Chain A
Amino acid sequence: MKKITLFFALFTMFAQAKAQFIKAELEVSGLTCSMCSLSTQKSLNTLDFIGQIKPDLNKNIFYITFKADKAVSLDALKQKVKAAGFSVSKLIAIYDFKTTQDNASFQYNGDTYQFTVLPGKPLSGETRLQVLDKDFVPTSTFKKLGAQIKDASYATGGTNDKKQRVYHISLS
Chain B
Amino acid sequence: MKAGWKHLLCLAAMLWGKAYAQELYVNTEPASNMAAKAIGIRLNNEFEPLQDNRTGYRLSPEVMFGFSKNLMVHVNLYASSIYQPSFNFEGASVYAKYRFLALDQPQSHFRVAGFGRASLINDPVTFNTINLQGDNSGYLGGLVVTQLLHKLALSATSDVSHSLDNISNPIAPGIGRNQLDYTFSAGYLLLPKTYTDYKQTNLNLYMELLGKSSLDGKGSLMDIAPAIQFIFNSTTRLDLSYETQLSGNLSRPSNTIYLIRLEHNLFNAF
Q: Answer whether residue A105 sits at the interface, using C-beta atoms and an 8 A cutoff.
A: no
User: For this complex, into which size category does the number of interface residues on chain B fall?
Assistant: 35 or more
Given A33-B24, A33-B231, A57-B197: A38 touches B267 (CB 8 Å cut-off)? yes
Q: Contact between A138 and B38 (Cβ–Cβ < 8 Å)?
A: no
Q: Answer whether residue A20 sits at the interface, using C-beta atoms and an 8 A cutoff.
A: no
Chain B interface, >50% SS class: loop
Interface size on A, residues (CB 8 A): 30
Q: Contact between A33 and B22 (Cβ–Cβ < 8 Å)?
A: yes
Chain A interface, >50% SS class: mixed
Partner of A58, one of B18, B103, B105: B18
Q: Contact between B197 and A87 (Cβ–Cβ < 8 Å)?
A: no
**Chain A residues with Cβ under 8 A from B196's Cβ?**
57
Cβ of A70 to closest chain B Cβ, rounded Å: 19
Partner of B109, one of A27, A30, A39, A58: A30
Of residues 38 through 84 on chain B, the ones whose CB sits less than 8 Å from some CB of chain A are: 38, 68-69
B7-34 Cβ-contact flags toward A at 8 Å (1 or 0): 0000000000011011110000000111
Of residues 36 through 70 on chain A, the ones whose CB sits less than 8 Å from some CB of chain B are: 37-40, 42-43, 45-46, 55, 57-60
**Which one of A78-86, A106-114, A162-170 is at the B interface?**
A78-86
Q: Answer whether residue A89 sits at the interface, using C-beta atoms and an 8 A cutoff.
A: yes
Chain A residues with CB under 8 Å of chain B are: 27, 29-30, 32-35, 37-40, 42-43, 45-46, 55, 57-60, 82-87, 89, 138-140
Chain B residues with CB under 8 Å of chain A are: 18-19, 21-24, 32-38, 68-69, 99, 102-107, 109, 148, 153, 189, 194-198, 200, 202, 204, 231, 234-235, 237, 265, 267-268
- A-B CB contact pairs (8 Å), 5 listed: A32-B23, A33-B231, A34-B202, A46-B268, A85-B34
